[in-house]
A and B are shown apart, each in its own frame.
Chain A
Amino acid sequence: MTSDPIIKPDGTRARANMPDYAKAYAAFSWADAERDIDGFGDGSLNIAHEAVDRHVAAGHGAQVAIRWIAKAGDSRDITYSELQDLTNRFANVLRNQGLEKGDRVYSLLGRLPDLYIAALGTLKAGCVFCPLFSAFGPEPIQSRMEIGQANAIITSSRLYRRKLKGIRGNLPDLRTVFLIDGDEDATIDLNAAMNAANDTFTTERMQPEETALLHFTSGTTGKPKGVVHVHQAVVAHHATGRLALDLRPGDTYWCTADPGWVTGTSYGIIAPLTNRVTMIIDEAEFDVDRWYATLAREAVTVWYTAPTAIRMLMKAGASAAKPHDLTALRFMASVGEPLNPEAVIWSNNTFTMPFHDNWWQTETGGIMIANYAAMDVRPGSMGKPLPGIEAGIVAVEGGTLRELTAPMAIGELALRPGWPSMMRGYLHEQARYEKCFRDGWYLSGDLAMRDADGYFWFVGRGDDLIKSAGHLIGPFEVESALLEHEAVAEAGVIGVPDETAGEIVKAFVALKPGFEASESLLLELTGHARKRLGPAVAPKEIVFRQNLPKTRSGKIMRRLLKARELGLPEGDISTLESDER
């Protein structure tokens, strides 16, 4: 928080979609934002129409909508016009298999063109689209398909054999399995079905409150939650893409998130297409040189990625970026977990522009708090609320809610409901849903503070907060300080019970290559953290690990570290991507 702000040059401000944040915030209304969406003129709309068909109707059919880069490096372009044909075909394929409006269509696929075509074609048909992350094992797949009562799924024969075939008998609602590459018993060959299908389709006219998307998010306990989003959400997807990501027609945009997660759908499919950009989709996983080469070769203008990737790029050093011409870049953003100040400053030094951190959740459907192209960046801050979003810091004690207005007061980050992409429910879990609201606020479960100038600062997840000797300690703050040390690659901080202090701060640290765990390094880190944080906040215990448990989006799973530390059940670990070693 002590880092100097990054001041935006006048030229950068003037070029931004939103040149003056305060003015835009004051003038904004969702009713105005709705005018940027075409709809069908009778109050009905469809996300897929806004993403694809309207651009073709407006004469932009020849523009490349998707440039897909295969693992091997070859690429395939799909224009808006082709995307219209393909999504029409997919909608007809669904109809031909008896899938009707309201049916649930799932995907279990890597980042292949079929996934994007299926998502949009499903929406055209008025079905509900639910993407599953292809690295899920059978158990999380089954629980998510059960809760959502999946009627159809599109997947590959390999994934089908490995993960789906064995559980299919447990899924009574599942009628149709589409395979993108070949056939198995009781499946449909998607290629053949697509070729046989008509390329015209009358997109379903959906009421604004009809369900479009289902995203699953893990709970701290119990089953995953099926988060329901409606077609009206597209108003927020579009507006936030324009304001928070600075997207504009003709941009070349790369969102590195997988559509198995909400970022990869809201900002990896919908918002970019409604804003008529050319999307880069890379089938491959993170690789420093491949990423820099892709940014340069494709002349990417807007790049949306995640802190883990950014820190890996940092680890590789600025020299890795040097050989590549990145001058096309105009805006870079980060989401998934808070971006530590060092990474923001490093990016500003390396790319001559910072990564702009933003904050939102599966439940909010779209970006809620962000750093903007035309707004000075305070490294480590998540920025300010989007126009149309009212955010506050609240304390809920004994059933009453109190808004905390003093600068830097720590409380729960809360939002006034009413924006279009707000979740409309947790599927079949009304009580769990209602628990998210109190006294006219949506409670995010995240702890944050707001400074005197209105910038929000992430403190930690509510249940991750450590209370030690009367001090409220945010694990993120401690992790950030540890990450400032040259030897530290990853840090996860939890509170462990202590007789005297309630909890003490314990840090799990993974080292960068070239550094060895040793007693002297332990002392060095202890001293480093104490110097940064003071004795009340610095970890009392530091242990070394080769790797920390992380989710797909790169969040260190503190909950899991804590469960293991305390010998408690590990709970739902379906989002665990990379385990502790």
Chain B
Amino acid sequence: MTHEEAEAAIAEELHAIAPEIALEDIDRSGVLREEFDIDSMDFLRLVTALGERFELAMPEADYPQMGSFDALVGYLKQKTA
């Protein structure tokens, strides 16, 4: 998956959960949950949605690798590489 594809997929799923937050307004290297104002439930929904979309196992143990928007993009790229 290209960097752009990963970014687009995450942006789309995040938009469904926190539609009031614009991607251009956030710090992509900041704490994802704070930047998007999402709680643990929302984060879980995000991970589940991405996992289903790409048929990926995204175990809880990997959550620390998904701490920011950029980190999540990197994680997705690496997992699908």
Contact = CB atoms under 8 A, between A and B. Distances in A.
A534 B38 CA distance: 8
B26 to A, nearest CB: 14
B61 interface: no
Contacts of B38: 535
Contact of A524 (B19, B37, B40, B44): B19
A535 B20 contact: no
Interface in A516-574: 523-524, 526-528, 530-531, 534-536, 540
B28 interface: no
B19 A536 contact: no
Interface in B1-56: 15-21, 37-42, 44-45
A286 B14 CA distance: 44
A251 B15 CA distance: 56
A504 interface: yes
A504 B18 contact: no
Contacts of B42: 535, 540
Contact of A501 (B18, B20, B37, B41): B41
Contacts of B18: 526-527, 530, 535
B45 A540 contact: yes
Contacts of A535: 18, 37-39, 41-42
B41 A530 contact: no
Contacts of A524: 19
B15 to A, nearest CB: 7
Contact of A531 (B16, B20, B45): B20
A468 B41 contact: yes
A500 interface: yes
A524 B39 CA distance: 19
Contacts of B44: 500
A469 interface: yes
Interface in A485-521: 498, 500-501, 504
A522 B17 CA distance: 11
B19 A526 contact: yes
A523 B19 contact: yes
A528 B40 contact: no
A139 to B, nearest CB: 41
A534 B19 contact: no
A273 B20 CA distance: 53
Give the most central of B16, B19, B45: most A CB within 10 Å: B19
Contact of B37 (A469, A500, A526, A534): A534
Interface in A377-431: none
A531 B19 CA distance: 10
Contacts of A501: 40-41
A469 B16 contact: no
Interface string A463-486: 000001100000000000000000
A530 B20 contact: yes
A528 B37 contact: no
A526 B44 CA distance: 17
Contacts of B16: 523, 526
Contacts of B20: 526-528, 530-531
Top 4 closest pairs, chain A to chain B, by CB: A527-B20, A523-B19, A527-B19, A535-B39
24 contacts: A468-B41, A469-B39, A469-B41, A500-B41, A500-B44, A501-B40, A504-B41, A523-B15, A523-B16, A523-B19, A524-B19, A526-B16, A526-B18, A526-B19, A527-B19, A527-B20, A528-B20, A530-B19, A530-B37, A531-B20, A535-B38, A535-B41, A540-B42, A540-B45
Given A523-B15, A526-B17, A535-B18, 13 more contacts: A500-B44, A526-B16, A526-B18, A526-B20, A527-B18, A527-B19, A528-B20, A530-B19, A535-B39, A535-B42, A536-B39, A540-B42, A540-B45
